C-alpha cells in the first residue's frame, strides 16, 4: 500500500509524463513480485484489460545443476538405474541372473555392481530361504557373478518385463509351462565352474566371456526384440535435485529397515554420506568378494506386498507378481512413503504410485525390490 500511495502523490505533484513513468515502474515492480511468488497469481484479469506492452524482465539463467540431466556426448540413461551408459548398449538386453542366497553360497561375487536386485523367498521350507535375481545392463563388464542357482515361476513372470535374458541352472517342473512362452529366453547351466572347495551346487558363476559364449550358441537377439514393450519402467528424479520425499505428508523416517525374511534375517541401514541403504544379512554386512569386499548398497528400496501360493508339499511356491493396486513402500533418502503397485501381465512393467495416484519418481542409482508375502507384511520394521 505504501508503494501505491507514493505513486498517487507523485501523480498529483508531477506532470502526466512523470505519472506515466510512475505507472510503468509500478507495473514492473508488480511483475517482479509475481515472478518471485509464482504460486500466487493476483490481478490476472486487470492486466488483460490494460493492453500495455509488457515490461521486459530479465530471464534468469537455468541452474547449472539442471545440465546434469542432459546426457554427455555419446551417453544415454540406463533404463534400470538412470545412470549414464555408453549409447552403444542403449538397446542391449539386460541379463537377469539367479543368485543363490543360502549361507553356504557366501561370499557372493559381483553383487555390488548389480543395477536392480530382486529378493524373494525361494521355498516355504528352510524358514523361507531367499534367492536374488540380479539385473545387469552392461553385462560385458561382468568378471564373476554368483553363484548361480535354479529359477522359480515367479522369476519367469518378472524378468520378461525388462526384455531380459535369464541366466540360471535348471528349476522344478513347475516352470515348464512358463518356459513355453516365446518371450521367455534363458541360458541354463552353461556357465563356468569355479573350484572354491564347496559342494558342486555352489560352484557355478557367470564369468567373463560366458554370456558372449552363450549368445554364439543361441539364436537370441542381443538387442531388444519384438517382445520389448514401449513402456518405461521407472521415472527418475533429477540427479542434483533428488526426491527426498519431503513433499509427502505421509512420509515416515526410515534410517533402519528390517525385512521379514526369516532365514537370512536381512536389514538395511541408511548411510547419510552416500545416500544409500547398506544391506546386511546373516548378522553381517553383505560384502562383494569380487569387488574388494565392498558392501552392497541401494539408493532406492521398493517393497511389494505380494500374494503367495504354495504349489506342493516340498516347499515349491509362487508369488503373484501381476496384480493391480497392491500395497507397497518406497524408501529413499532416509524416508519412506506408502505406495500402490501395479503390473498388468508378464511383459508389462511394474509401476508404483503414491496414495494420490501419481507415479513416483525414484532416484538415480541402484534399486532393491523385495517381494514380501502378505502374511508377513505387518512385520516390516522401520526406525
What would the pLDDT profile of 133-190 be if each residue is shown by its tens digit?
999 999 999 999 999 999 999 999 999 999 999 999 999 999 999 999 999 999 999 9
* Residue 340 near residue 326, CB atoms below 8 Å: yes
* Residue 222 near residue 215, CB atoms below 8 Å: yes
Pairing mode, strands 367-373 and 116-121: parallel
**DSSP 8-state secondary structure symbol assigned to residue 352:** E
Determine the Cα–Cα distance for residues 294 and 52; give it in Å rounded to an integer: 64
**DSSP 8-state secondary structure symbol assigned to residue 46:** H
pLDDT at position 33 is 38
Domain 94-382 has CATH 3.40.50.1980: no
Lowest-confidence region among 80-94, 218-232, 331-345: 218-232
Chain centroid, CA 18 distance in Å = 60
| In the chain, where the domains are located | 2-50, 94-382
* Residue 257 near residue 267, CB atoms below 8 Å: yes
Highest mean pLDDT among 22-36, 66-80, 141-155: 141-155
Q: Give the C-alpha distances (Å, rounded to integers) separating 152 from 96, 105, 157, 178.
A: 13, 18, 9, 10
For the chain, the residue count is: 383
Residue 68 confidence class, pLDDT cut points 50, 70, 90 = confident
What would the pLDDT profile of 112-142 be if each residue is shown by its tens digit?
999 999 999 999 998 999 999 999 999 999 9
Average pLDDT over residues 189-196: 98
What would the pLDDT profile of 240-298 be if each residue is shown by its tens digit?
999 999 999 999 999 999 999 999 999 999 999 999 999 999 999 999 999 999 999 99
Average pLDDT over residues 318-330: 97
* Residue 191 near residue 356, CB atoms below 8 Å: no
Residue 231 confidence class, pLDDT cut points 50, 70, 90 = confident
pTM beyond 0.85: the answer is no
Amino acid at each position: 500500500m505504501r508503494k501505491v500511495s507514493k505513486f498517487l502523490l507523485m501523480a498529483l505533484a508531477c506532470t502526466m509524463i512523470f505519472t506515466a513513468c510512475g505507472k510503468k515502474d509500478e507495473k514492473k515492480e508488480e511483475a517482479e513480485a509475481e515472478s518471485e511468488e509464482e504460486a500466487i497469481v493476483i490481478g490476472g484479469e486487470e492486466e488483460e484489460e490494460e493492453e500495455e506492452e509488457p515490461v521486459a524482465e530479465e530471464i534468469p539463467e537455468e541452474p547449472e545443476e539442471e545440465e546434469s540431466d542432459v546426457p554427455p556426448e555419446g551417453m544415454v540413461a540406463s533404463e534400470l538405474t538412470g545412470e549414464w551408459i555408453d549409447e552403444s548398449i542403449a538397446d542391449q538386453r539386460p541379463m537377469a541372473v539367479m543368485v543363490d542366497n543360502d549361507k553356504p553360497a557366501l561370499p557372493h561375487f559381483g553383487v555390488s555392481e548389480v543395477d536392480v536386485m530382486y529378493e524373494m523367498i525361494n521355498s516355504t521350507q528352510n524358514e523361507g530361504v531367499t534367492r536374488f535375481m540380479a539385473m545387469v545392463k552392461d553385462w560385458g563388464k561382468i568378471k564373476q557373478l554368483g553363484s548361480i542357482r535354479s529359477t522359480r515361476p515367479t522369476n519367469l513372470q518378472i524378468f520378461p518385463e525388462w526384455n531380459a535374458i535369464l541366466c540360471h541352472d535348471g528349476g522344478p517342473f513347475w516352470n515348464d509351462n512358463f518356459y513355453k512362452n516365446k518371450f521367455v529366453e534363458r541360458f541354463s547351466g552353461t556357465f563356468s565352474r569355479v573350484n572354491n572347495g564347496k559342494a558342486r551346487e555352489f560352484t557355478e558363476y557367470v564369468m567373463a566371456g560366458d554370456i558372449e559364449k552363450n549368445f554364439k550358441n543361441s539364436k537370441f537377439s542381443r538387442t531388444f526384440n519384438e517382445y520389448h514393450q514401449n513402456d518405461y519402467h521407472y521415472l527418475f528424479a533429477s540427479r542434483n535435485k533428488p526426491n527426498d520425499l519431503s513433499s509427502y505428508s505421509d512420509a515416515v523416517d526410515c534410517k533402519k529397515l528390517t525385512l521379514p525374511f526369516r532365514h537370512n534375517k536381512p536389514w538395511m541401514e541408511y548411510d547419510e554420506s552416500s545416500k544409500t541403504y547398506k544391506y546386511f544379512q546373516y548378522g553381517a554386512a553383505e560384502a562383494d568378494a569380487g569387488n574388494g569386499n565392498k558392501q552392497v548398497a541401494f539408493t532406492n528400496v521398493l517393497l511389494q506386498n505380494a500374494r503367495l501360493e504354495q504349489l506342493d508339499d516340498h516347499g515349491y511356491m509362487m508369488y503373484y507378481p501381476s496384480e493391480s493396486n497392491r500395497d507397497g513402500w518406497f524408501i529413499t533418502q532416509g524416508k519412506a512413503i506408502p505406495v500402490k503397485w501395479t503390473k498388468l501381465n508378464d511383459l508389462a512393467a511394474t509401476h508404483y504410485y503414491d496414495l494420490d495416484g501419481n507415479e513416483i519418481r525414484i532416484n538415480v542409482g541402484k534399486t532393491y525390490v523385495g517381494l514380501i508375502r502378505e502374511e508377513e507384511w505387518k512385520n516390516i520394521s522401520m526406525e
